[in-house]
Structure 1
Amino acid sequence: MAKTSDNKAALKAAGGIVKQTAKESTSKAAAPKQNKRAEKRECLICADSKTSRGYQPPKDGEICEHFRSICRACVQKLVKSKITDDNLGEGVLQCPFGDCGHEVAFSTVGQMVTTGTFENWDQALLRRYLRDTEDLTPCLNPKCGFRFSVEDCNVKSGKGRKKMTCPYCEFDFCIRCSRAWHPKATCDQKTMQARKEEEEQSEKEMKRMGAQPCPHCGIKIEKDGGCSHMFCKRNH
C-alpha cells in the first residue's frame, strides 16, 4: 500500500511539472505575437501613434516613404480636401511634403482609401471633365448640369425640331432652340411664345410700377415727380 501511494504521488507531481512546462512554453511562444501587436508608429500628419492596422499601403503601385508613414485616415482626408476645394488636378495624389514631389497614381490611391471615398473622388473627376470639355453639350435640366457627347446619344428629328435625351437624368430637350422638348410646337412657335410671355411679364411689371402708355405712340412712361405734364422717349 505504501508503494502504491508513493507511485500516485510521483505521478501527480510529474503531471504538475508537465502542465507547468507546457504553460511556460505557450507563454513564451505567444510573447513575440503580443509584442508585434503592440508595435506602433507615429503618423507624419496627425502625429497619432497607430498599429499597422491604421496604415494601408497599396499592394500594387509606387508610393514614397512619406505615404508609408501617413495613416489611412489622413490619406482619406487628403483626398476629401481635393474634392471639397475642387483641386482635382490630373487625378493623382501629391505627397503633402513639398520637398518630395511624388505623385500617387489614381489606381494606387484606390487601394489606400475606402471604396466610398474613392468613388466620390472618381465622380468629382468626371464632373470636372464634363464641365470643362467644350465639345460636349450641357444638359438643360437645372438639377443635372452634366455635359455629354451628342454623337453618343439617341437624337430624333422632325418638323424642324431635334430631340435630345440626357443620358444622366433622361431630361428631354430640343438642341435646335435649346429649350425643353416641345412635341406640339415648332421651334419658331416656341420662340414666339417665349417672346409673348416675356412681353406679358414686362407689362405686369410696368403696371405694378404705375407706368402708363403714351397716348400718341403707346410707349410706356412713368411719372416719378414734378408736374403732371410728361414727355415720352419720343418727345410726345
Structure 2
Amino acid sequence: MDSEDEMNYDEEEEDSQEEDSNDEDFVDIAMEPEPSTASDSRETEDFQYEVLTADKIVHVMVECIKEVNAVVQIPATITRILLNHFRWDKEKLMERYYDGDQDSLFSEAHVVSPYRKDPRQKRSTRGSTSASTSESMCEICCLVIPHTDMAGLECGHKFCFQCWTDYLTSKIINEGMGQTISCAAYGCDILVDDVTVMDLIKDAKVRLKYQHLITNSFVECNRLLRWCPAPDCGHVIKVKHYDVKPVRCTCGHTFCFACGENWHDPVKCIWLKRWIKKCDDDSETSNWIAANTKECPKCHVIIEKDGGCNHMVCKNQNCKADFCWVCLGPWEPHGSSWYNCNKFDEDEAKKARDSQEKSRCQLQRYLFYCNRYMNHMQSLKFENKLYQAVKLKMEEMQQHSMSWIEVQFLKVAVDVLCSCRQTLMYTYVFAFYLSKNNQSIIFEDNQKDLEHATEQLSEYLERDITSELLVDIKQKVQDKYRYCESRRKVLLDHVHEGYERDTWDYQDGL
C-alpha cells in the first residue's frame, strides 16, 4: 500500500454531487476512485478467486457500502461503521438490522442512531458559514471559540478545529487507529466517521495514513479477502467463498488462503500453527538442527551440504563413504523397500520407565521430525537455486541441435522436485502429531516411496545431466518426475480421504 491513489477521498465527482444533496450520504462517492480493471481472475481446481490491486480494493469496499446502503437507507458513513462492526458480513448486518432492535444495534456499533437524531444538534465543519456569532469554550484547550470554528459529532460534543486535528493526528500516527477512533470527549464511545476525519485533517501524510488504515481494516476484517504475504506486495486475494485452498498472487507467491502461510498440504492449518509455535519456542534447538555442517559418520571430517540431494559422498580421499545426510546411515539400504529412514521408532519410546527418560524420548521424537522438516526446507532452498543451473544447461543443450521445446523437460522436472520437497516437508509436521493406527502405517509407506523417488530425481538433476549423457538421461528424468508426481498424488489423496472419513487420530498433548 504505497500510493496515495489507493483511496482518493479528495476527488469529488460533480455529477454525483448534484444528484445527492445530503453531505453525509455523499461521503462514499468522494472516497471512490475510478473503477479499476486491473484485477486478475484465477481458478485452482474448483476454487475461484481474484487478485485485486489497491484501487480495486477501494472499489470493492465502496460497492459493498452502496449495496447495503441501498437497502437500509441510512447515511453511508454509518453503513461503513456498521459493516466494519460485523466484519463486512452483509448478510449478518441485514439480519441484525431487521430483527426489531435497531437502537441496540447502533449502540453496540458506537454510532448515534440516525432515527433518533436531535435536529437541534447540527455539527459544524471547517469552512461552514453560520449566521450565529455566538461563542463557546473548547473543553480541551479551554479557549473561547466562535461556533463557526468548532466541529463535533452527532453525540453533540464540539471542540475547536485545532484540538480535533491534534487529537485525530495523534490517534492515526501514534496509535495507528483508523476505524475505531472515538469522540474526543472523555467517556464518549461514539466513533468518528471518515467525513469528519477527512474534513479536519489537511496534512497529506496523515490523510494517506488514515486511508491506508481504513483499507487495511477492510481487508483484515473481511473473511473473503486476504493480503498477499509476500514482501512488498500490495495485492489482495478475493474469493467467492471461504475455504482452505492454495491461491497464487500475480507476484508469483502461492499461499494458503485460510492462514496465509505457504501452501502446506497435507497438514491442516491448526497443526501447522502449533508446529510453528513449537519451533519458535525451541528456537535454539531448531537453529542447531538447521546447521549446514555435519560430520562424516566414517572419518568424522566436516561435511557441508551444497545441494538438495541427501545422498552424500565424503570427499576425503581415504574415506569416500556413501551415507544419508538425514540419518547419517549407509546410503545403500535407502533404496530397499524394507528400509525406513522416515519412520520414528514409537515402540522404543514407549519403553521409557521414568519421567526423565520419557522427556528425553519426547525430545528425541521432536528432533527426529524437526530434523527431516528442516532438511527438506533447506533442500527446497537449494532446489530453487537449481533453476538457474538448469536454465544454463537448457541454453547449452539448445546449442547442441536441441529445440526449446525439447529441453523443457528439465524445467518441468525441477518444478515437480520442488513440489515434492514442499509436500514432504509438511508431511513430517502431519506425522509428528499423528497417532499410530493402520492408516498411519499406510501413510508412512507412501511418504517413504515419495521420499525415495524424490531423492532419485534430485540426484539425476544435480549429478547426472551432461551433454554426453543427455539422450540416456532424458527419458530417465521424465519417467522419474512422472512417478514422483503420481506418488505425491497418492499420498495426498490418502490423507484427504482420511480427513473425509475422520480416520486420523492425533496426539494433542504434544
TM-score by length of 2: 0.22
Task: Give the number of the structure whose residues are more often helix, by fraction.
Answer: 2
Which has more radius of gyration? 1
Greater RCO structure (CA 8 Å; 6+ sep)? 2
